[in-house]
Chains A and B, each alone.
Chain A
Amino acid sequence: MSRLLEVDDLRVRYGKVHALHGVSLRVERGTIVTVIGPNGAGKTTLLGAVMGLLASSGTIRYDGADIGALPVESRVAAGLCLVPERRELFGELTVEDNLRLGAFQRVRRGERGAANELGEVYARFPRLKERRAQLAATLSGGERQMLALGRALMAKPRLLMLDEPSLGLAPRIVRDILRIIAELRETGVSILLVEQNARAALGIADRGYVLETGEVVLSGSAAELAGNPRVAESYLGLAGDRDQGTGDRAQKNPKPETRGQERVK
């Protein structure tokens, strides 16, 4: 069984308003799958439902088992982790406490070596080690994203879901984060990536889904999607830019990317 995550006919509504109508999606082991789509398409809602933060109908199978009825903490214990768009750090705790709490489920189950990950996370993010005694609220945007990622890694995830990890970060830091995401795949972690930067996301992903108004409208390998004229026009800002990035004014207006600002409530 090589599929780590199988989502079928997932539906979420807020009151009478449907945010997702019947989304199906697969994540194979050891791959990066990206979900792109315009603002308000329901990308964050999708991650929230898979994580168990939002009530949904349909089936969510993880590692062969239906996890639809499990609470969030059991999903974390099973190795399903979400790094949310808003990071959701513990601002008045130190960096190190934030990280240690990421391993809460593992410590609680008495897992040996739950603390060893701390060294690994510090090795991956030396910046966090420098700041380990600092309160999380005092960190810069990039450091916060590293801490959010580090906290999730402390849980030893098998499927890591990332919601817009590049949000508000300088390009250099985005590059670092994306490199780390690609490295994680090499260590066997599967990744479900929601990313505003469709170009970057398709660049590192194996597969992709395009979500629009709560439905999957396109899916395929990342290369296929990147080559699909509709995706190129809508999300990659490539329409008419045949040769260089300066844009061709004779062509349609570019629509570089769109972003999910929907909030999980």
Chain B
Amino acid sequence: MRAQAVLAAALLLATAAAPLALPEFYVTLLNYIGLATLVTLGLVVMTGVAGIVSFGQQAFVGIAAYATAGLTTLAGLSPWAGLVASLAATAASALLLGAVTLRLSGHYLAIATIAWGVAIYYLFGNLPLLGQYSGIDNVPPVSLGGWAIDSGRESYYLIWTFTAAALVAERNLLASRLGRAIRALRFRAVMAESCGVDTASLKLLVFVHAALLAGLAGWLHAHFLRFVSPHAFGINAGIDYLFMAVIGGAAEVWGALVGASIMTILKEWLKDWLPAFSQRSGNYETVVFGVLMLLLLHRARDGLAPVLARLLPEGARQRPAQVAAPAREAPPPAGTVLLEVHGLGKRFGGLVAVRDLSFAMNAGEILGLIGPNGAGKTTVFNLVGGALAADEGEVRLKGSRIDRLPSREIARRGLRRTFQQVHLVSRMSVLDNVAIGAHLRGGRGALAAMLRAERDEERTLLSEAARALDRVGLGEHLFEPAGSLPLGSQRAVEIARALAGDPQVLLLDEPAAGLRYGEKRALAALLDRLRAEGLGILLVEHDMEFVMGLADRLVVMDFGEKLAEGLPDEVRRDPAVIEAYLGGEAGDRGQKNLKPETGS
């Protein structure tokens, strides 16, 4: 931490002193870098972290620049009014574009942003009001209490104040409750939903906020250059911004700074250098950028930030302080019916996965759901947890129907699940992964996170996450990347994440798979304690010893239907179960050609 602070202070000092020491040309170059960093910053969070690809950020820069240029020159308003108008215009257009595309797969948005960028470019270039291709000039400078910021050096401070603030704000955002959810959007959206995250709204938020950063850059652009023209907002500008984000990489917000610097400086350098090879003028630098990008994507897909990060001193994180747990709803008394499934059915094409399934589970009970592979158990989990919509039947949680609700709503009502295939954000720390489980126990928004005004809440969430990890025996591994743990421990992280949501109903999909004997015993002890606390636990498990010793009752499924239900001992003696499970003839040890008999 010490070394990082020293480094940051040195960087700050150098940034502040730069315009005093550098010639005008370099100050202007730094101003361009600052503007590009702002736009790229939004892309790093949106594309690098959340996996939403946009080639149209230049359109948002352009909308903002034209909005402020138009209002200040035509209507004579103050640039500060222009700022408000710029941001409003960008937000509105981003909302529109995001709302129609974010529900679709990612490539639709990416194509849409290109098309949209082209449309905006031609609009700027053809509207007489906006000066067509010659643009709008004589845009007034920003003035601050009578001080007009009209030189490059003065603009430097304006631009870099905003850029530095944005860098810090984005870093804070990614280190917050919302930031954790954003980091799950790309590869683990299904998991995030199961923890109560509204991923559609969050994607829209990420998209709009990246557009706002671009809009801010557009406003600065208009008042720094003092004129706007469509050429700065062509489709290539949008591609360049995305390339900057790719160069910098997704791991760190300062990747935006790295990417923006490299591209801006390289472009300037190529402009001087390339025409020497050709008499004609034009965008020859695109060849170089394209080749560089191909090499980067082939060789270092994560960009340069992770490479550079290895050179930096590493700050150690401290275990979150223990904070009193937030108030929680009293668990229902043992024996109350928590979960009821009635006549549940689901088909996939020609396959019937689940047919007319009914069962009920009480508070303080572990209900084992067993059956041969392919019997439909995981489908039942997905139907109950809301990851799939049932074709027929109903599911009730504490008496109210949940079978038409999305999984985030079901999570809100106190049901949490784990996944058979672990769903962890593998690069994020174990603690952060588990804290996603506590998402619904906090409520502060993006702005609070950027300003670090949500630290009290954050402390509580992290403390709850650490507590959940202690319970599953991983209290020593809080800051390791989740993907580096052995599979058995990753399953335990899944359980901790579910517990961090303070559920009343827990759905566990094969929690003991891949665990060693000692780990299984510890898991059994944990589930036993949770049962004593009044949770209802629905357990799919193949390890019969584990499930028989733990479950209060069992439901046996075969071919999507309920084959038997009862106490473990009854089920074990049920001839139908023995036939389904053991393929009949269960006693013929060592006999060759044991063929499963019995029809279905």
Contacts and interface: CB of A to CB of B under 8 A. Distances in A.
Interface string B574-597: 010011111111110111111111
B559 interface: yes
Contact of A246 (B575, B580, B584): B575
Interface residues of B, number: 54
B543 to A, nearest CB: 7
Contact of B596 (A41, A140, A171): A171
Nearest to A17: B487
Contacts of B518: none
A97 B587 CA distance: 44
B373 A259 contact: yes
B349 A175 contact: no
Contact of B548 (A16, A38, A139, A253): A253
Contact of A175 (B421, B516, B548, B597): B597
Nearest to B548: A253
B590 A138 contact: no
Contacts of B350: 137-140
Given A245-B584, A246-B575, A253-B549, A174 B596 contact: yes
Contacts of B490: 17
Given A17-B486, A223-B592, A226-B589, A254 B544 contact: yes
A245 B543 contact: no
Contacts of A252: 545
A85 B487 CA distance: 21
Interface in B360-400: 372-375
A241 interface: yes
A19 B579 CA distance: 33
Contacts, number: 155
Interface of B is mostly: loop
B483 A16 contact: yes
A141 B516 contact: no
Contacts of B575: 245-246
Contacts of A242: 587
Interface string A176-190: 001100000000000
Given A138-B350, A167-B374, A238 B594 contact: no
Interface string B506-531: 00001001101000000000000000
B591 A203 contact: yes
Contact of B513 (A38, A166, A263): A38
A2 interface: no
B596 A200 contact: yes
Contact of A236 (B374, B589, B592, B597): B589
B104 interface: no
A39 B595 contact: no
Contacts of B589: 226-227, 232, 236, 238, 241
A141 B375 CA distance: 12
B587 A243 contact: yes
B594 A200 contact: yes
B426 interface: yes
Residue in A168, A179, A227 whose Cβ sees the most chain B Cβ within 10 Å: A168
A244 B587 contact: yes
B404 interface: no
Interface in B132-158: none
B401 interface: no
A227 B514 contact: no
Contact of B372 (A137, A196, A238, A244): A196
A68 B548 CA distance: 43
Interface string B533-568: 000000000111100110000000001000000001
Given A40-B513, A204-B593, A174 B542 contact: no
Contacts of A196: 372-373
Given A236-B589, A253-B549, A255-B543, A167 B373 contact: yes
Interface in A149-181: 164, 166-172, 174-175, 178-179
A238 B586 contact: yes
B400 to A, nearest CB: 32
Interface in B466-520: 483-487, 490, 510, 513-514, 516
Contacts of A227: 589-590
16 contacts: A15-B483, A38-B513, A91-B349, A137-B349, A138-B349, A168-B373, A168-B374, A199-B582, A203-B595, A237-B544, A237-B586, A238-B589, A253-B548, A256-B581, A256-B582, A261-B510
Interface of A: 15-17, 19, 38-41, 91, 137-141, 164, 166-172, 174-175, 178-179, 196-197, 199-200, 202-204, 213, 223, 226-227, 232, 236-238, 241-247, 249, 252-259, 261, 263
Interface of B: 349-351, 372-375, 420-421, 426, 483-487, 490, 510, 513-514, 516, 542-545, 548-549, 559, 568-569, 572-573, 575, 578-587, 589-600
3 closest A-B pairs by CB: A168-B374, A245-B586, A40-B514
Given A223-B592, A238-B589, A241-B586, 4 more contacts: A40-B513, A169-B374, A247-B578, A256-B544
